[in-house]
Amino acid sequence: MPVNLIHIPYNSIISKVMMAAFQSKAIEILLVEDDLGNIRLTEEAFKEGNVRHNLRTVTDGVMAINYLNKTEGYDDAPKPDLILLDLNLPKKDGKEVLSFIKEDSNLKSIPVIILSSSNSETDIKKVYDLHANCYITKPIDFDSFIDVVKIIERFWLSTAMLPK
């Protein structure tokens, strides 16, 4: 008797398993970005996604360090599971924030994705030397920016395993 096999795409299985694993806990995302337009675009893109998350935003490098240190009004700030970090920030730039994160034993395992308008080879090399997990050049147009955020969500929040 012939056997009928049903083909289920691998990505579909992985997505469902990963979604089930994260159903009980929302992913904490820290967005370090000073451009209000990019903040709004990022918020909208994550709202359209499938992963439960809390997106928290700080707008300069000093605020980011205070948030991560739980000081200066951030005493109850949750530890992020993922950090989206702009390079060109006021007060302390993204490289300084990245260096702080990767030198701190309690923070260094958090994946840090650099989202920058710079496509300078010097910037790219420097942030990888500082142990950034990923470097993405921000797209200029709305649809491409939304696509990039969805790709980040799909890979980092639905496929990759994050430290607990």
The full set of domains in the chain, from first to last, is 26-158 (3.40.50.2300)
The b/e string for 89-119 (b: 16+ C-beta within 10 A; e otherwise) is: beebbbbbbbbbbbeeeebeebbbbbbbebe
- The pLDDT, as a whole number, for residue 24 is 55
10's enclosing H/E stretch is: helix 10-22
Task: Output 120 or 143, whichever has higher pLDDT.
Answer: 120
pLDDT > 50? residue 22: no
Counting residues of the chain whose pLDDT is more than 70, the rounded percentage is 82
**What are the structure tokens assigned to 11, written together?**
């990505």
Counting residues of the chain whose pLDDT is more than 90, the rounded percentage is 44
pTM of the model: 0.80
Distance CA 108, CA 100 (A): 9
Residue 133: how many CB atoms within 10 A of its CB?
Answer: 17
- The pLDDT, as a whole number, for residue 118 is 84
| Mean pLDDT to the nearest integer, 142-153 | 80
| pLDDT tens-digit map of 69-83 | 999 899 999 999 989
Distance CA 60, CA 18 (A): 32
Residue 47 binned pLDDT confidence (cut-offs 50, 70, 90): confident
